[in-house]
Amino acid sequence: MTGPRLAGLLVPVGAVVAAFLVGGVMLLMLGVNPIRGYGALLDGAFGDLDALADTAIKSMPLLLVGVGICIAFRASVINIGGEGQMIAGAIVSTLVALAVPDLPRVLLVPLVLLGGLLGGAIWGAIPGALKAYSGVNEILSTIMLNIVAVQLMNFLLRDLIMDPYEKDGGRIPQTRRLSENSDLPLLPGDTRIHIGVLVALAMAVLAWVLLWRTSLGYRLRAVGHSSAAARYAGMPVKRTIVAALTFSGAMCGLAGALLVFGSESHRFVTDGSSVGFTGSAGFNGIVTALFGGLHPLWTIPSSFFFGGLLFGANAMQRAVQVPAALIVALNGMVVVFVVSSDRLRRSIGQRLGPGLEEAVNEGVEDLE
Amino acid sequence: MQMRRNRKWMGLAAVLAVLAMLAGACGSDEEAVDDGLFRIAVVAPSASNDLAFTQSIVDAVHVLDGVDVIDVTDGTFIVADAAAAVRGYAEDGYDLVIAHGSQYGGSLQEIAKDFPDTAFAWGTSNDTFGLDNVSAYTAASDEGGYVMGAMAAAMTSSGVIGVIGPIAVGDAKLYVDGFVNGAAAQDSGVTVNVNYIESFSDVALAAEAAEGHIANGADILTGTAQMVVGATGVAAENGARWFGTQSNQTSLGEDMVVASQVYKWEKALQGIVDGVKNGDLGGRSHTINLENGGIVIEFNDAVDAGDARAIGEGLIADIKARMVDTGA
Amino acid sequence: MSDFFTTASLVFVVGSGIRLATPFLLAGLGETIGQRSGVLNLGVDGVMLLSAFGAYWTILETGRPVAGLLVGLGVGLVMGVVYGVVTVTLRAEQGVSGIGIFLFGLGMSDLLFQKKVGTPLPIRGFGDWHVPVLSRIPVIGEMFFQHSVLVYLAFLLVPVVAFLLNWTTFGLNVRAVGENPAAADSLGVSVARVRYKTILLANGLAGLAGAVLSIELGIFQQNLTNGQGFIAIALVYFGAWRPVGVMGGALLFGMVSATVLQWKTLGLVSGAASSLTAMAPALLTIVALVVISRTVGQPAALTRPFERGR
């Protein structure tokens, strides 16, 4: 294995280990045996088939959001609106299921998923259009639309689409149990894994095709490199920017729909916040995409790793009674450490094999 | 943003995924232990020291008799994670798993079916889904609300009272409705302004809502849910009085909290625990209220409530005797 | 609706809007300085949470609000050093590093709060200071001159930051580094050093914002900021990287929130409409920006790590 390649793998892995070591110190200070704690985390995430299935389910929204981020960031558009787009997708897909509950499963399931794509696409198209045609920065519009989405969700769930049973009763902000025909089919085997995982994988592949095998994808990447050059070359830059955010939003919307219809409860329920529904997938998905090098296919293992970290952390919390807050802080440290190790990796790589470095980076094209 | 599509990221992702799986596969599978100990687990959405919703259940489980092991998973406001925690505890063989959060109900309905030998308890609600291993528990918080609303109406000198609520759902709405009705029954000339700030967690907004009430002339405030600590600070600064709910909130203001409606969930939980030990896994709903001692109005003796205290105590007796309808 | 347009009601709304705007303003000013030099910091919310806890705990233990404020500032500076090392020295991707800092701050502040503080007790803040003479002016006095010292501090920083960016050599360097770091470097300006300074300023101000929040509220709680740090970042774009613009955005957001609150207090809005009006601050911010429709571009080198020779 050549120098840069070796450095390329070892250094980031070392960064993750370093973050876990710091976390281990924190566990010790809380009076917990770190080995037992991390053991519970790994066991909970990957220990048996059920755990793997649950980790896959947890990774699914991360993968979709991550794929959406790949598309957007490649066009140099920063989409921090994942949370709101997931909610928008969940809303539209739920409305579909409530509108036509008696359609046969083979029609209803794809229909609700389309609803998710549509809801997210709209919620992404709005900031896209605002950026392209009004010059409104997408960081601002996506953050603001996240807030709007949460309020819209709360409004709908405690009024228009609230379970009628709840209206006179406990007033829990949730819908009725959604039509059984809209339950995501489970995959064969005795686990809880459902087709949503396959849908997410398919989307990753489609995104790869989009970015590297279509002219739209070429335009997206061109605009990402330099919008001025793209404009000079006659490409419709504004429409491309809108497309980037629309596709990105659609992925997030699909994730939201999958969360509702793949959930334990088969209802759309809120606790009043966005994170209570999404599990911060809107943010974690960004990290997932970047750990996957903004490449949709490599986002797959990246999302699996992150999903495992998040799901296993719950198991760790149960096993050793540490507050969930420790896990959140640990996630943050993993992100910062890994992202910081970038330069270290390059300088070690350079010392081990100057010149080869550039070739490796340029040669990335043939992988794609 | 500078984009880098480097091979090292892709390699990293793959290697980590594989390493993790290997490590996981080497982990040991902990079997559920059957050692005769009675284990209960609690899954709750906010922190155990939130002086409100979660604190009330955590305090309660620690005073139960006949319980050997108590494990609490708090801070699970992500519904999917809470569902995973409930399922995890059931798989680990806990005797009673308590899901403390009305948003967990839908998930519990499905999980309970998979574990017919485990007892589950769900709050706050009175719906057991027709399953005989699910108990539901709820609080008649409108009762305490009614009592304190009447007290507030009797105590106010400005004639204006302010209420700060989260979202008009569940336990919060029940309390507020009771409070408003109690105040109206005591003195229909008193104005009670209710402000639902549409969030369970925005402390700054709750504080401003309290400021708004004060500016409007309110000299007594009340509120529910964990963001309410912002409002209590404002009440203290402006010399207003406070009525608390869910937990005893006297520590937030020794000289301003008149009384708190405290939830003693153990009144409901003890019955459930005893039942489980005798083989009855549930199937009923339990309500804590003034009559069964599950709700207690704890007066703060440092604050002189004057006549209002007598009115309050009288109402408590009346409600216990079923002579009053709180209208909520 | 006539209830709303009384003097007392409007006075309250303006005062309340100013109070609500203060944390956004402080954090937003800091982010403006950082972004002007080409550094995007998405971790503001996490820094605010850590400093809010630090300030709260200090006051809980020592009873001294000034100490709390200083600790909050200190926490911000420490996080600034960390962020500087990560993004300037190690040249890490800025957006993701910021999110990592946010997650770290969110978790760490919550963890420390749960472990170090048993029952959360309220703390005393600074109290309101009535500006002599000015606070006696009818109506205007109550609206503007009867606030906490911390509010005045925040608003006074607006001209200070504007002066810093537009009238000092440092400010010139900051803007040069943000627009064209290669050119600045060739003129002998140390890009790294300038960015370190702006990052320290940015995070220090974020630390102040967090401290102001917990001191004014008199308490701490898990996720106390509730996303305010992100709103502050958004407002930097609204304000087109000008301190006055950021102040305008913060006030717009604060005033709309305060107006909505007052409507609810007066019973003008209830039930279903309540959720919809809660969207108002966010929606109006977008609409306002579309209407104002500035074409000022962002600092050209924003989010690009600088390396000589590249």
- Distance from the Cα of A110 to chain C's closest Cα (Å) equals 31
Assess if residue B12 is contained within a domain.
Answer: no
Q: Is B37 exposed, middle or buried (0-12, 13-18, 19+ CB in 10 A)?
A: exposed
- Distance from the Cα of B273 to chain C's closest Cα (Å) equals 28
Q: Return the higher-pLDDT residue of B219 and A227.
A: B219
Rounded to the nearest integer, the mean pLDDT of chain B is 87
pLDDT at C197 over 90: yes
Sorted by where each starts, the structural domains of chain C and their CATH numbers stand as 7-119+151-292 (1.10.3470)
Q: Coil, strand or helix: which one is B37? A: coil
Assess if residue B219 is contained within a domain.
Answer: yes
Q: What is the DSSP letter of A158?
A: I
pLDDT at A70 over 60: yes
Q: Please write the tens of the pLDDT for every residue from A265-315.
A: 888 888 888 888 888 898 899 988 988 888 999 999 999 988 998 888 888
CA angle centred on B285, ends B69 and B34, rounded to 5°:
25
pLDDT at A352 over 70: no
Q: Which residues of A fall within a CB distance of 8 Å from C289?
A: 134, 136, 140
Residue B305: domain span: 141-263+293-320
pLDDT band at B115 (very low <50, low <70, confident <90, very high): very high
Rounded to the nearest integer, the mean pLDDT of chain C is 89
Residue C240: closest CA among chain A residues belongs to which residue? A137
What are the backbone angles phi and psi of residue B221, rounded to the nearest 5°? Answer: -125, 155
Q: Does B202 touch chain C (CB under 8 A)?
A: yes
Distance of CA A328 to the CA centre of its chain: 16
Query: Are B216 and B308 found together in one domain?
Result: yes
Q: Please write the tens of the pLDDT for every residue from B271-327.
A: 999 999 898 888 899 999 999 999 999 999 888 888 999 999 999 999 988 888 887
pLDDT at A359 over 60: no
Residue C114: closest CA among chain A residues belongs to which residue? A323
Q: Which residues of C fall within a CB distance of 8 Å from B50?
A: 221-222
Q: Return the higher-pLDDT residue of A281 and C146.
A: A281
What are the backbone angles phi and psi of residue A75, rounded to the nearest 5°? Answer: -95, 15
Helix (H) or strand (E) holding A245: helix A237-261
Contact C232, C102 (CB under 8 A): no
Cα–Cα distance measured from residue B259 to residue B150, given in angstroms and rounded to the nearest whole number: 12
Q: What is the largest CA-CA distance in chain A?
A: 72
Q: Choose among C104, C222, C234: nearest Cβ to A336.
A: C104
Cα–Cα distance measured from residue B70 to residue A61, given in angstroms and rounded to the nearest whole number: 33
Dihedral through CA C240, CA C243, CA C244, CA C249, nearest 10? 60
Q: What's the CATH code of the domain at B58?
A: 3.40.50.2300
pLDDT at C99 over 50: yes
Q: Which residues of A fall within a CB distance of 8 Å from C233?
A: 139, 143
Q: Is C1 exposed, middle or buried (0-12, 13-18, 19+ CB in 10 A)?
A: exposed
Residue range A248-253: mean pLDDT, rounded:
97
Query: Are B109 and B148 found together in one domain?
Result: no
Q: What is the structure's pLDDT at A362?
A: 43
Q: What is the structure's pLDDT at B1?
A: 41
Q: Return the higher-pLDDT residue of B173 and A14.
A: B173
Query: Are B75 and B60 found together in one domain?
Result: yes
Assess if residue B14 is contained within a domain.
Answer: no
Among A265-269, C244-248, C276-280, the range of highest mean pLDDT:
C244-248
Query: Are B232 and B123 found together in one domain?
Result: no
Number of domains in chain B: 2
- Distance from the Cα of C172 to chain A's closest Cα (Å) equals 24
Query: Are B118 and B226 found together in one domain?
Result: no
Assess if residue B5 is contained within a domain.
Answer: no
Distance of CA C221 to the CA centre of its chain: 18
pLDDT at A348 over 90: no
Percent of chain C scoring above 90 in pLDDT: 59
Residue C122: closest CA among chain B residues belongs to which residue? B252
Contact C269, B168 (CB under 8 A): no
Cα–Cα distance measured from residue C263 to residue A111, given in angstroms and rounded to the nearest whole number: 41
Query: Are B151 and B271 found together in one domain?
Result: no
pLDDT at A197 over 80: yes
Query: Are B191 and B51 found together in one domain?
Result: no
Asked if B8 and A345 come within 8 Å (Cβ–Cβ), the reply is: yes
Residue C263: closest CA among chain B residues belongs to which residue? B195
Percent of chain B scoring above 70 in pLDDT: 90
Q: Which residues of C fall within a CB distance of 8 Å from B238?
A: none
Query: Are B101 and B158 found together in one domain?
Result: no
Residue range C156-165: mean pLDDT, rounded:
95
Strand (E) positions, A174-219?
A: none
Place of tokens 């982010």: C31
Q: What is the structure's pLDDT at C226?
A: 87
pLDDT at A89 over 80: yes
pLDDT at B31 over 70: no
Cα–Cα distance measured from residue A314 to residue A47, given in angstroms and rounded to the nearest whole number: 14
pLDDT at A130 over 60: yes
Name the packing angle between helices C191-217 and C228-238 (round to 10°).
130
ipTM: 0.88
Q: Which residues contact B230 (CB under 8 A, 6 or more apart)?
A: B203, B204, B205, B206, B207, B210, C217, C219
Q: Give the CA radius of gyration of chain A.
A: 21
Q: What is the reported pTM?
A: 0.89
- Report the residue count for chain A: 368
pLDDT band at C142 (very low <50, low <70, confident <90, very high): confident
pLDDT band at B15 (very low <50, low <70, confident <90, very high): low
Residue range B36-59: mean pLDDT, rounded:
87
Q: What are the tokens at C153? A: 């501090």
Q: What is the structure's pLDDT at B12?
A: 57
Query: Are B205 and B218 found together in one domain?
Result: yes
Cα–Cα distance measured from residue A82 to residue A88, given in angstroms and rounded to the nearest whole number: 10
pLDDT at C91 over 50: yes
pLDDT band at B9 (very low <50, low <70, confident <90, very high): low
- Distance from the Cα of A118 to chain B's closest Cα (Å) equals 24
A42, B88, C9 from B91: Cα distances, Å: 17, 5, 57
Asked if A277 and B200 come within 8 Å (Cβ–Cβ), the reply is: no
Q: What is the structure's pLDDT at B142?
A: 93
Residue range C212-239: mean pLDDT, rounded:
91
Least confident of A99-113, B23-37, B152-166, C214-228: B23-37
Q: Which residues contact A194 (CB under 8 A, 6 or more apart)?
A: A57, A184, A185, A186, A187, A262
Q: What is the structure's pLDDT at B23?
A: 55
- Report the residue count for chain B: 328
Place of tokens 């020794």: B254
Q: Choose among A151, A298, A342: nearest Cβ to B13.
A: A298
Q: Residues 110..169 of B with a Cβ closer than 8 Å to C: which?
A: 162, 167-168
Residue C223: closest CA among chain B residues belongs to which residue? B201
Assess if residue B22 is contained within a domain.
Answer: no
Q: What is the structure's pLDDT at A356?
A: 42
Between B and C, how many CB-CB pairs are < 8 A?
119
Asked if C289 and A334 come within 8 Å (Cβ–Cβ), the reply is: no
Query: Are B83 and B226 found together in one domain?
Result: no
Cα–Cα distance measured from residue B164 to residue B216, given in angstroms and rounded to the nearest whole number: 14
Q: What is the structure's pLDDT at B17?
A: 58
What are the residues facing A194 on neighbouring strands?
Answer: A186
Asked if B2 and C304 come within 8 Å (Cβ–Cβ), the reply is: yes
Q: What is the structure's pLDDT at C119?
A: 78
Q: Are strands B119-123 and B69-73 parallel, antiparallel or unpaired?
A: unpaired
Q: Is B34 exposed, middle or buried (0-12, 13-18, 19+ CB in 10 A)?
A: exposed
Rounded to the nearest integer, the mean pLDDT of chain A is 86
Query: Are B307 and B162 found together in one domain?
Result: yes
Q: In what order do the strands lie in the sheet with B257-263?
A: B191-196, B160-165, B220-223, B241-246, B257-263, B295-299
pLDDT band at A363 (very low <50, low <70, confident <90, very high): very low
Residue range C241-268: mean pLDDT, rounded:
92
Q: Which residues of B fall within a CB distance of 8 Å from A270?
A: 103
Q: What is the 3-state secondary structure (H, E, C) of B115-163?
A: CCCCEEEEECCCCCCCCCCEEEEEECHHHHHHHHHHHHHHHCCCCEEEE
Asked if A324 and B74 come within 8 Å (Cβ–Cβ), the reply is: yes
Question: Which of B1, B3, B193 should be substituted to probe chain C, the one whose Cβ sees the most C Cβ atoms within 10 Å?
Answer: B1
Residue B211: closest CA among chain C residues belongs to which residue? C16
Q: Choose among A290, A334, A343: nearest Cβ to C90.
A: A343
Q: Which residues of B fall within a CB distance of 8 Å from C226?
A: 199, 201-204
Residue C115: closest CA among chain B residues belongs to which residue? B49
Query: Are B128 and B233 found together in one domain?
Result: no
Q: Which residues of B fall within a CB distance of 8 Å from C222?
A: 46-47, 50, 75, 201
Neighbours of chain B (3+ CB pairs under 8 A): A, C
Cα–Cα distance measured from residue C140 to residue C151, given in angstroms and rounded to the nearest whole number: 16
Q: What are the tokens at C67? A: 């100490």
What are the residues facing B40 on neighbouring strands?
Answer: B70, B96
Q: Choose among A9, A301, A338: nearest Cβ to B17.
A: A301
Residue range C264-292: mean pLDDT, rounded:
85
Q: Does B213 touch chain C (CB under 8 A)?
A: yes
Q: Which residues of B fall within a CB distance of 8 Å from A323?
A: 47, 74-75
B124 preceded by cis ω (within 30°)? yes
Q: Which residues contact C174 (CB under 8 A, 6 or more apart)?
A: C33, C36, C37, C165, C194, C198
pLDDT at C225 over 70: yes
Q: Which residues of C fall within a CB distance of 8 Å from B1?
A: 93-95, 303
pLDDT at A344 over 80: no
Cα–Cα distance measured from residue A38 to residue A23, given in angstroms and rounded to the nearest whole number: 10
CA angle centred on B161, ends B157 and B167, rounded to 5°:
170
Neighbours of chain C (3+ CB pairs under 8 A): A, B
Q: What is the 3-state secondary structure (H, E, C) of chain C?
A: CCCCCCHHHHHHHHHHHHHHHHHHHHHHHHHHHHHHCCCCCCCHHHHHHHHHHHHHHHHHHHCCHHHHHHHHHHHHHHHHHHHHHHHHHCCCCHHHHHHHHHHHHHHHHHHHHHHHCCCCCCCCCCCECCCCCHHHCCCHHHHHCCCEHHHHHHHHHHHHHHHHHHHCHHHHHHHHHHHCHHHHHHCCCCHHHHHHHHHHHHHHHHHHHHHHHHHHHCCCCCCCCCCHHHHHHHHHHHCCCCHHHHHHHHHHHHHHHHHHHHHHHCCCCCCHHHHHHHCHHHHHHHHHHHHHCCCCCCCCCCCCCCCCCC
